[in-house]
A and B are shown apart, each in its own frame.
Chain A
Amino acid sequence: MPGSDSTAHRSKSRRPKYSQFSQQELPAFKLILTPGYVISTFIVVGLIFVPIGLISLFASETVVEIVDQYDNECIPKDFRDNKVEFIKNKQTNKSCTRTFTVPKQMKSPIFIYYQLENFYQNHRRYVKSRSDKQLQSKKNAAHIRECKPMGETDNKDPIIPCGLIAWSLFNDTYGFSVKGKDLKVNKRDIAWGSDKNYKFGADVFPKNFQVGDVGGKSLNSSIPLSEQEDLIVWMRTAALSTFRKLYGKIEDDLQANDVITVVVENNYNTYDFKGTKSLVLSTTSWIGGKNDFLGVTFITIGGICLFLAITFILLYVIKPRPLGDPSYLSWNRNSTPTPGR
């Protein structure tokens, strides 16, 4: 029948509306690792890493570092068999003099660290044993829940600052002199600014600190916690059992072959747990202290990349595979047809 009214009866199409997203046809970049890209990536990475490694290594080499372990030598010979008793005895003379020579010129500021070994500041119960709320503000003085066993005195009076971390505060002191002249040690600005300004309150004063069993340094109860920089530095728990913490800065230059005399007050008891104590003087570079590892790693990775680039170039020259060659398709590679699957 000519002129049928098919348009009136055409059923509505139920095809869903087309969109690139729903049909998964979004414009895309296909990452295809051709030999050109691979080799150039290796070369670029190698050429960037090796110079960075050399610069880092050079920076680390310019750092001058003096490490002096004194915990053994600073015990008088009579007490060498009984170190723990020596250190715990309040009557013994803990002063000890150490001397060492500066190997190369050290430009100021020279940083003084104390280094402890076999001291696990990263033990879970040690890390937990503090009260951040109490440190922050005077009104939280009674927040001592996490601090047990160093939370309160026998009279149930809260200790400020409470907890094992504060109680075990390092208390050796060092006095430096060179050529008979005392070197001034700047003990300000050794802690992080955010700690001094936000975490340790200016209205919190030490109370009942080290009254029972003495674990470390006592604190002057008229100085607020925000200015007790030794405590602030100590309370940032270290990641490993061998660590250094900043003690102070010397703001004079030291020349090569200068003989430094240090008067050490050997107070801190590391002998109970066979820990060691060392004194470290170090300059810094733009990258920090002396550690060749970063530079060596960069050079190694860069070197590996360049080696891989050369290997790929050789492999590609010896056994090239033409790209897009259909003879590498699996149904062309098997010359005998596999019996039906």
Chain B
Amino acid sequence: MIQEADIGIGISGVEGMQAVMASDFSIAQFRFLERLLVVHGHWCYKRIAQMICYFFYKNIAFGLTLFYFEAFASFSGQSVYNDWYMLSFNVVLTALPVISLGVFEQDVSSEICLQFPALYQQGPRNLFFDWYRIFGWIGNGIYSSITIFTLIMAIFHDQAFRAGGQTADMAVVGATMFTSIIWVVNVQIALTISHFTWIQHLFIWGSIAAWYVFLLLFGMTSPSTSGYAHHILVEALAPAPMFWLATIVVTVACNLLYFTYVAYQRCFKPMDHHVIQEIKYYKKDVEDRHMWTRERSKARQETKIGFTARVEAKMRQLKVRLHRKTSSLALQNVLSPS
């Protein structure tokens, strides 16, 4: 049974470890099952769903800019970024925030998960990994890639980009576009994550800082390694206000869409965990304990399937029949006293 199930849970105990060895998850006592399902199951579903969607988004936003550039490079296969930038993208610069999303994200705390088991239903109802969401994230990635590419290309068109009169070559354009991508995807994940510990802050802002440090250190290597990235940050990019302004405007332009969507959804079409987050944030659970207890009890639905449910349903049926019989008997006694 454990092997056949989608997720098999084994309980280690006096009967040995066979169930544990065959299972996907194992727990020590039966009462841990509640926590496993309602807290960890709920968190895990959301973490994985959000992480996968974000991962697609991030790589689409990055990869499509390379394709757009091909249209301007007569489809010769020239990449606008230095190879080292592309290598470090998925390994160093954007890996840690995704890990922090997939490992640490919590929409509500564990007490709330236990108090509101109905939140677990977001999983079986597949509210976070349906096709709308997947295509929405992919669309967000496509929109970001188009915005990044067109804005950077149009800003660094053919004129000088600095007061010293120098024009932008492929190395400058590539480095600026890459900087914008790093900013866009990391700010995007900051908007996706709702639970910020010091770990998330370190990973997200650290990744952005790591890019600048990487560009600086890479530029200090010999020109035979770094090519035109040699001293590029120190000499060409950092003193140019255009570099910083372009990064800022591209980041805001790309994230504005998602921010507006999320803001609209949260303000006017909130989901259950949004409402509960607000109740906790505004401490309404403390102010109005009655409402809090009532909602908690409504969030625990009586089971409608299984043996216990059938027994209880039968008992209710018999009670109703008994009640009817006794009330009709009482009526008969009243009507005909014989």
Residues of A within 8 A of B (CB): 14, 24-35, 38, 41, 45, 49, 52, 56, 65, 109, 111, 113, 115, 120-125, 127, 132-133, 136, 190, 192-194, 198-199, 236-246, 249, 282, 284-291, 293-294, 297-298, 301, 304-305, 308, 312, 315-316, 319, 321, 323-326, 328-332, 340-341
In the assembled complex, the Cα of A289 lies from the Cα of B80 at a distance in Å of 23
Contact yes or no, A239 B174, CB < 8 A: yes
Binds A, one of B138-146, B206-214, B223-231, B324-332: B223-231
Report whether B194 and A32 are in contact in the complex, using a CB–CB cutoff of 8 Å.
yes
**Which one, B158, B196, B268, contacts A243 given CB within 8 A?**
B158
* Known contacts A328-B270, A328-B275: A288-B161 contact under CB 8 Å: yes
B165 pairs with A239, CB closer than 8 A = no
A321 touches B163 (CB 8 A): no
Give the top 7 A-B pairs by smallest Cβ distance, nearest first. A289-B159, A340-B304, A124-B78, A289-B160, A111-B165, A194-B231, A124-B76
Asked if residues B224 and A127 are in contact (CB atoms below 8 Å), the reply is no
Interface residues on B, range: 35 or more
Which residues does chain A contribute within 8 Å of B323, judged by CB atoms? none
Residue among B166, B198, B281, B299 having the largest count of chain A Cβ atoms under 10 Å: B166
How distant is the Cα of A127 from the Cα of B73 in the complex, in angstroms?
Answer: 11
Check if B23 is an interface residue, CB within 8 A of chain A: no
If the complex has contacts A109-B165, A115-B158, are A33 and B266 also in contact, measured as CB distance less than 8 A? yes
Instruction: Report how far A13 CA is from B332 CA in the complex, Å.
Output: 65
Kindly list chain A residues whose C-beta atoms are within 8 Å of the C-beta of B275: 324-326, 328-329
Pairwise interchain contact B282-A323, C-beta atoms closer than 8 A? yes
B249 contacts A301, C-beta separation under 8 Å: yes
Give chain A residues whose Cβ lies under 8 Å from the Cβ of B308: none
When distances are taken between beta carbons in the complex, the residues of chain A under 8 Å from B165 are: 109, 111, 190, 246, 249, 282, 284, 289
Q: How far is the CB of B92 from chain A (nearest CB, A)?
A: 23
User: Contact: A237 with B170, CB < 8 Å?
Assistant: yes
- Cα–Cα distance between A321 and B275 once the two chains are bound (Å): 11
Residues of B within 8 A of A (CB): 28, 69, 72-74, 76-78, 80, 104, 106, 109-110, 118, 121, 151, 153-174, 191, 193-199, 223-224, 227-228, 230-231, 235-236, 240-242, 245-246, 249, 252-253, 256, 259-260, 262-263, 266-268, 270-272, 275-279, 281-282, 284, 291, 295, 298-299, 304-305
Determine the chain A residues whose CB is within 8 A of the CB of B193 once the complex forms. Answer: 31
Contacts of A245 on B, CB cut-off 8 Å?
167
The answer to whether A120 touches B249 (Cβ under 8 A) is no
30 intermolecular pairs with C-beta atoms under 8 Å apart: A25-B110, A26-B104, A26-B197, A29-B197, A30-B195, A30-B196, A30-B281, A32-B278, A41-B259, A111-B165, A113-B167, A121-B170, A122-B78, A124-B76, A132-B223, A239-B72, A239-B168, A240-B157, A246-B165, A284-B160, A284-B162, A287-B163, A291-B155, A293-B155, A293-B157, A321-B270, A326-B275, A328-B275, A332-B295, A340-B304
Distance of B224 from chain A, by nearest CB (Å): 6
A324–B281 contact, CB under 8 A? Answer: yes
A329 to B297, CA, bound (A): 13
A244-B167 in contact given A49-B252, A291-B159 (Cβ < 8 Å)? yes
Most buried by A among B191, B262, B266, B282: B266
